[in-house]
Amino acid sequence: MYEPKILTLTKDSPKLTLTILITVVSGKEILSRCLRALCPQVNFTETEIIVPYDIWSKEVGELVSKYPKVKFHFIEDLGLAVSNKISAHQHRLYDLRRAVGLNLSNGKIIAMTEDHAVPAEDWCEQILTLHEQSFGIIGGAIENRIDDPLNWAWYYCDFGRYGKPLPNNEAEFVSDVNVSYKRETIMSVRKIWNNAYRETTVHWALRSLGEKIVLDERMKVFQERPKMKLSEALRERVNWGQVFAETRANEMNIPKRLIYAAGTILLPPLLLLRVFKNMYRQKRTFRQMVTTLPLAFLFLIHWSLGETIGYLRGEPQSK
């Protein structure tokens, strides 16, 4: 379990046009694939690419000489108890890495993605073009490129709502795998993410301030996550569902937590219906649906279990 420290704040005056923050999820080889797609798009006099990493992803440091213009930042102190493995959710490390990267950013526009995501060849250009509009939060399309039933099920549970075609207008949700902010927008809620960037908390806070979230499919990335083992995928579903619920539970009293915990029994069929609608919207074949939906339902059952645990436990408190 980690106990994040207060991070050193950068100056608010932007020095560059664009900051791209990449969150390490799978490590060196997957990150290198992302950088190979991204670096040719970038003019490093106007754009910076920031990659925070730490003791749990230290092999990423081997890429420093291969990508000398990328800003690899080693996080010295995670506040983690010394142990052979992380006892808290892996997801919480990702939240911390994103917070560190945001604090290091210098761009007028700040874009976020992760190593699994391979940006389209015009990703940076589209971000800058779209931010000529007044909107402070713009997200884009997320497509799956790994044609495997397990990956399709995982994709539709996490990112199905971001698959093309998108409505290209105001939306309720946006993913930290493909999102961009005007600097003044994300900095307006700095106290929310300074120690740990949690996608849902940050976006709820921005919407409460009157900010609109916009989706535009021209800004797209492709998920190329390596094929997963079923046991690993199910464990991840439980952990991520728990993180989501703990974040919400932090704002609830105990009776409301219990009500939400009881209500998680309804989640698998309701969320499966959403998966089906997204597959239908994207005109997936009958064969794809038959091979994907049963696995997606299994994933959603485990997500629901994670949410139940999360609501009952609430947000872990720093010690």
Q: For helices 230-249 and 286-313, what crossing angle results, to 10°?
A: 50
Residue 313: the pLDDT is: 84
Reading the chain (319 residues) residue by residue, the pLDDT tens digits are: 334 343 444 455 567 899 999 999 988 999 999 999 999 999 999 999 999 999 888 999 999 999 999 999 999 877 643 333 444 457 788 999 999 999 999 999 999 999 999 999 999 999 999 999 889 999 999 999 999 999 999 999 999 999 999 877 888 889 999 999 999 999 999 999 998 898 989 999 999 999 999 999 999 999 998 888 899 899 989 988 988 898 888 888 899 999 999 999 999 999 999 999 999 999 999 999 999 999 999 999 999 999 999 999 875 444 3
Residue 228: the pLDDT is: 81
Residue 179: the pLDDT is: 98
Residue 316: the pLDDT is: 46
Give the phi and the psi of residue 184 in degrees, each rounded to 5.
Answer: -65, -25
For residues 112 and 98, the answer to whether their CB atoms sit within 8 Å is yes
Instruction: Extract the tokens encoding 274.
Output: 């959403």
Cα angle 299, 303, 259 (rounded to 5 degrees) comes to 145
- Helical (H) or strand (E) element with 110: strand 107-114
Q: Look at the block and give the residue holding tokens 């995670």.
A: 78
In DSSP notation, 21-50 reads: EEE-SS-HHHHHHHHHHHGGG--TTTEEEE
Distance from C-alpha of 261 to C-alpha of 42, rounded to nearest angstrom? 46
